[in-house]
Structures are given as C-alpha cells and as structure tokens.
Structure 1
Amino acid sequence: MIKLLIRRYVKDYRNVTETKVRESYGVLSGMIGIFCNLFLFIIKISTGLLINSIAVISDAFNNLSDLGSSLISILGVKLSNRPPDREHPHGHGRYEYITSLAVSFVIFGVGLELLRNSFQKVIKPEEVLFNPISVSLLVISVFVKLWMFSYNRYIGKAINSGINRATACDSLNDAIATSVVIAGTLLGRVVNFPFDGVLGLVISVLIMYTGFGIAKNSVDLLLGSSPDPELINNIKSYVLEGKGIKGVHDLKVHDYGPGKISASIHAEVSHGANIVEIHSEIDDIEQKIKCELGVDIVIHMDPVEE
C-alpha cells in the first residue's frame, strides 16, 4: 500500500537524491503519521476511559505525542530542504537532525509524565473493567502500528532519513507496548495483581528509552559522528576503479544532513601521466559518485613516482 501511495503522491519518486522528491516523501510520511496517530489516540483514550485503565490511557497519550512528532517532522523536512544561502552555504539539511532531537524531547517528556501516573496506580490500584469490544480495538491498533513501522522503515531506507528511522523504531515499540497492555488486561481478570499500573510503568520506561535513543543519535549526527564505513569503502572503490589512479589517501567526509554529504579525497596518479586525460577521468568519477552514492566529492590529483 505504501508503494502505491508513493507512486501517486510523490512525483519522480525514484530520484531520491533530489531535494523536492525527498521533501514529498517526508510530507507524505508525516501526513500518514498524523492521521494514523489521531485515529489511534481516539480509539485508545475512549477505551482507556471506558475500562478505567491507566496503561491504555498512557498508550493513548503516547500516540498523541507521536502525532506531535509527525507535525515536527514535516516542519523539519520543509526547513532542511531550504536552499543554501550566504550564512549557510552547505544548505539547511541539519534541521532534520534538530527536529529529530525535538521529537525525542517530546517522547521523553510524555514518558516521564506517564511514569508518574502509573506509579500512582501501583500504589492505589483500581479495577480494570474487561470489555471484549475494547480489547478488539486495541488489537486493531497493534496492526496499525505494525503497518506504520513498515512504511516508516521503507521510507527511511529509501531517502536515508533519520526522522523516519526513529519513527519506525517508535512505532514498533508502540505495537509491543499495546500487545503487553492487552495481555495484562486479560491476565488481570484471573490474577489478583496490579497489572495495569505495572504495565503503565513498563510502557512509560519504554517510551523514555526510545526518546533517549533518538536524542543520542541526533546529537551524534549534529556533533559530527564517524561516517558510515560502507560509504567510505564505496567512495575509495569508485576512485580506484578510475583509469590511471594508483592509490588514494586523505578522504574526508562531511555530513550536512540527509542527502547533503560532501567529501574530498586525494587520488595518486603517475607524475608522467597525461594531465588532460586524468582530469577528464576524475570528472567522470566525481559525477558517478554523485549519481550513485549521492555524495558531492572533490578529487585532488597527487602526482607520485612510478
């Protein structure tokens, strides 16, 4: 289904290195997230109030925070795709990392508040009212979240988006959390134990852990984490495949946001080589790396003895 939506709403959807295409992917993903999470919030808050379950209510507000995260992610995509200007010659791609960090704060804050409420439920447990219809709605919500995990993972991989990868992880956690709530609701009918409050604690800790993980990854990217080893190897391989290239050194990679990676490398060539031919070969390599790896690269010729 997600592929059908992409083909319908994303023009030139295969050209994922193009700024406008990436923006369309991000907006589509965010809008789906808004509608799905609003639907889930309404289902879960109604169910939670109906059966008097703090665990289900906690899960509902988790979906509400996800809705807010989808709004922030759309804003992040719009900001990150603004063209370069005098103050930001390499563009605004890192806005996406900043919005991912903002999403993590929202997620962590919701988890902290739900932790407090769940702790109160453990101290003063209340009866959870079993309702087959409510449980059925929760089961439906699990499948919705699994679908959201699938489409966010697909888009995250397609456009190399940290926001979508983080959202995919969060969606999978939500599906697991809701499954645990369903199990606890059923067990609570036969076992005299405050499952509701305890499960609320588990869910809130899971939510905070997810927020912390997203924050750590975003901060690493903003500070300049080490480039992907696979990308490093691919760049070197492409350069070394060039005619007349004897070796490479001093590869530097700079990440200015998803789809906005710049690099420079020194290519060793024979000091007696035809400079015009080598220059033409290097131009071709730079274009190939740009098209196939999405990296803007500058290759410097270094003459070496045979």
Structure 2
Amino acid sequence: MNKNSKLKDKPLIGYDKFLLMALYKENPLSVMDLNDKTVIFISKIWYQQWHENNKSSLETTFTYLSRLRYSIYEVYYKERRNDSSKEVGIDAGLECETLVKNGLAICNPNGTYELTDKGNKKASELIKRMEKRSSLIEKDLLETSSAARNTIFINFFLAIMKLSSGLVTGSVGLIADGADATTDTISAFLVWLGLKIHREFLSTVLVIFMLFVAAFSVGSEALRRIIVALTGTLTPISHAYLVMAVEFIAILTAIFLFIYQRHIGRERNNLTIVSQSVDSKNHIMIGSAVILGAVFSIYGVYYVDAIVGIFISLGILRDAIGLSREAISSYQGDDTDLSQYKTAFGDYMKLNHYESFQFWILFAIHRKDIKTKEGLIKSLENAFKARYIPVLSELKLTPHEEFNYRQNFSEIVSPLMDLELIRTNETEYLLTEKGVKHFNRISHDFEYYDVKFSDSFLLKLSDEN
C-alpha cells in the first residue's frame, strides 16, 4: 500500500485502503461485514497483541517498536488530513462516509456500501500492488535458493564492514573477524551453487564442515588467549568501543539471518538452510563473546571472552555433530526430522491463533452484545470461515478453518479471565473495564496502520505450519 495514494490531495490512511480492497472484492457490504473483516485482520497482527506474559523478548520488542511507529504515523496523517477527531477505534461506517465524500464509494438505500468507478480503479491498483508484493516475497525471499543467495550478500556486507573497520583502526581482532566473514561469503556462494545444480547434500556437507572448522578455530583461539593471559602477555583489545559497535551490528544481522534461514529451512524441510541457520546462531554467540571481552578489556580484564569462547566452541561442535547425524540419515534415504530446530516464531504461532480468537471474543462481547458461551462459539465459527480478508488473502494468510472452537473454548477464554479482561456470572461473559481499554487500545492503532513491505514480509515469515 503506497503512502502516496491520495484522497483529493489528502493521503489514504491504512483503513481507507483496507475498506477499498474489501469492497472491491465483495460489493456491496454492510458496516457490520466490514467491521468483522477489520477485527479478523487486526487479530492476525501478532505483534500488536498485548498479552505480555505469553510473549518472548523478541515479540515484546516488535510490539513496542510497532506501536512507536504507529504513533508516528498517527501524528503524521492527522496533520496531513487536518484530523483532530478523538479516538473512535473500529468504525467502518465513519470511514466509509469519508470514502463517499471523496467519490470512491456510495451508500445504498439499505445501508450497504459499494465502490464507484473511481473507487474500483483505486482498489484494483491496491490489490494488484499487494499481490505483486506477495509474489515478490515468495520468489525473492522465501524460496530456498533465494535464501542461499541473500545469505551471500549479507555475509559480503559483514565482511566489508569488519575488514574496513579493522584496516582503518588497525584492530587485529576485527581484521580476523572480517577474514572469517569473507570465508562465510565464499561458503555461502558454494552452498547457493550446490542448490542451483541440485547437489544439496554436498552443500549440507560443506556447511557442516565449516562448522567443525569454526569449532576448532574458536576453541584453539580461546585456549591460546587463556594461555597467553596466564603468562601475563595478553594484548588488550584495541579500539574496544569500535569493536563493540561493529559486533553489535553484526549480531543484529546474524539474528535476522538466523530467523530468516531457520524459517525457510523448516518450511521447505531443507537441511542445508537449517545448517546455515545454526552457523548464524553461532555467530550471534561469537559476536556476544567479543563484545563481552571488549567490555571487560576496558576495565583491564582480558581473558573473559576466551573462557566464554571455550563453551561456544563446544556448543558449535555439538551442533556440527548433530547436523552430521541428520545429513547421514538423509543420505541413507531416511526422512529428515527438523522439528528439533526451533524457529523464532513457531513456538508462538499457536498462541497467535488463540489470541486471534480471544480478540474476536472481546469484539463480540463489546460490540455485538454476544455474551453466552453458545453464542460466542457460533460467532467464532462464522467469523473464521473462508472469506476474503484484505492483505491476508493476498499474502495467503487467511484464518484457519479446521479448529474445534467448542472443544477448545475453555482454553481460549481462560487467558482472558486470568488477565481480568472478561468475567463470567455463570451464564454470560462480560467485558471488564480493563478489557474495554485493552480492546480500544489495539483497535485504535489500526486506523493509521499501513501495511508496509516489512510488515508483509514479517507476517509471511512468522506463518509457521
């Protein structure tokens, strides 16, 4: 969705685009239908949810960063649109009236809305753009060969950054780290080549071999530094602050690579890419050890990173041995079980599905006045059946249909009770004041929520099967 799309010289906000796409696919629609679609979409934005006691530190970070971004968008769009209105949360009817005023939609006598020719043209552009984005993500980011190719470029960037910083400052540690990143770049290229010529086993063997080399290299260097430290001749880390800054950037990059590679490897059941994700995880630990060593070096303690390095080398060795067993098993024709290699988001996707259902329950109680258990179950069954949801449908992330809401109802509502968002009087479920605030806080963010490329990629990346 492009921020340059305009409503009579005023920018289309995220909700405008969402409604245009919904009306284009299913003309005409009532306000109730549009509100339902809106809630389903909001419920799928996992990093927008606020059940903090179920979140990892990674999810919590995404939550706060996303809310900060939306706050900035809100200020920006309100200023551009001269909008001083109070928070209204989910109100498709109010926003549809804006579309009507700008000639993009009309209101029928029965209260439903449909697009004008002008609205159809704009909505068609939005949908085509989203479909193109989805195709681009699938082709250039989520294919196995694409992941291997992208790893080459990222490792090349790290090699240039570390080598240039090392040469400018004369830091031996950074130069050595840059040389290691250069080796990783060459290794990544050979992996990509192996995948392209369908020699995946050889690519896997290469990655595993490099892990054994890394384990030996890190371990021997750690032992050398410990021995030198004991003799009192260990040289302090030069340019410690620069080393920390460069390694911090490298760690962030390695975290992204780990998440990215692990998802692709698990999704495609590809041991080669999973092996690369293990290598990226090791770089996170190695970079952390370097930063730890640099910090202690500032205070005159020069052997901490070496001690940590011993444990890291043992961890790398353990991973290399485990992957070797998987590779041998795969070569012998056995099915490869990659379930032991956890993804960054996979453990939380069940929670995400449940949070989707929980947010719907808050909506059903608060806005639809559905309060009985039976009514809420039927509401869930109707809401999450096959239907077009803007953005989610283009990204192929539509809600899951095969779910027994009746059997799992207690598991769905229990967290809402524990968080004191709802309460029950035996026959009905009621929203608490805290629940109303929780619902309004999340729903209000959506008015200015605009699905950028990064959001689309993140949603696709976190969609674990």
- Sort the Cα spacing of 1:130 and 1:199 in 2 relative to 1 into closer, same or farther, 3 A: farther
- CA shift, 1:102, in A, is 2.0
Change (3 A) 1:158 1:205: same
Distance 1:47 1:114 in 2: 21
Of 226, 232, 235, which aligns to 1:126? Answer: 235
C-alpha separation in 2, matches of 1:214 and 1:164 = 11
Q: Which residue of 1 aligns with 2:246?
A: 137
Distance 1:201 1:79, change over 3 A: same
Q: Is the 8 A contact 2:208 2:324 kept in 1?
A: yes
Amino acid at match of 1:30: A
For the Cα contact (< 8 Å) 1:41–1:60, is it kept in 2? Answer: yes
Aligned counterparts, 1:224-303, within 5 A: 224-225=333-334
AA aligned opposite 2:151: G
Q: Distance in 1 between matches of 2:315 and 2:217?
A: 13
User: For 1:7 and 1:144, how far apart are their aligned partners in 2?
Assistant: 24
Matched, 1:26 2:144: yes
Equivalent residues of 2:200, 2:272 under 8 A apart: yes
Larger radius of gyration: 2
**Preserved CA contact (<8 Å) 2:240 2:295:** no
CA offsets per residue over residues 65-111 of structure 1, 9 Å max, x none? 4323322221221222xxxxxxxxxxxxxx31232012211231243
- Structure (1 or 2) with the greater strand fraction: 1
- Map 1:1-306 → 2, pairs under 5 A: 7-8=135-136, 11=139, 25-47=143-165, 50=169, 52=171, 54=173, 59-80=177-198, 95-124=199-228, 125-225=234-334
Indicate the RMSD between aligned Cα atoms, in angstroms.
3.4
Distance 1:223 1:186 in 2: 47
SS of the residue 1:129 aligns to: coil
Partner Cα separation in structure 1 for residue 165 and residue 132 of structure 2: 32
How many residue pairs match? The answer is: 203
- Structure 2: stretches of 5+ with no match in the other structure: 1-130, 229-233, 340-465
- Return the TM-score normalized by structure 1: 0.55
- Compare 195-204 and 146-155 and name the one that shifted more: 195-204
**Pair 6,181 (structure 1): closer, same or farther in 2 beyond 3 Å:** farther
Amino acid at match of 1:133: L
* 2:329 partner letter: D
More relative contact order, 1 or 2 (CA 8 Å, 6+ apart): 2
For the residue of structure 2 that corresponds to 1:188, the secondary structure is: helix
Q: How far apart are the structure 2 equivalents of 1:157 and 1:165?
A: 7
Which residue is 2:105 aligned to? Answer: none
The structure-2 alpha-carbon separation of the partners of 1:6 and 1:191, relative to structure 1 and needing over 3 Å to count, comes to: farther
- Residues 187, 207 of structure 2: 8 Å contact kept: yes
Contact 2:292/2:305 (8 A) holds in 1: no
One-letter amino acid matched to 2:254:
K
- TM superposition shift of 1:118: 3.7
- Are residues 113 and 179 of structure 1, via their aligned partners in 2, closer, same or farther at CA, if it must alter by over 3 Å? closer
TM-aligned CA distance change 1:192 to 1:113, over 3 Å: closer
User: Which sections of structure 1, spanning at least 5 residues, go unmatched?
Assistant: 14-21, 81-94, 231-306
Cα offset for 1:61? 4.3
Residue 201 of structure 1: how far off its partner (Å): 4.0
CA apart distance, 1:52: 4.2
Aligned amino acid, residue 223 of structure 1? Q
Shift of the alpha carbon at 1:162?
1.2
Report if the CA contact (8 A) 2:261-2:276 is conserved: yes
DSSP-derived class of the 1:126 partner = coil
CA contact (8 A) 1:128 1:196 kept: no
8 A Cα contact 1:180 1:199, kept in partner: yes
- Distance change >3 Å, CA 109–CA 229, structure 1 → 2: closer
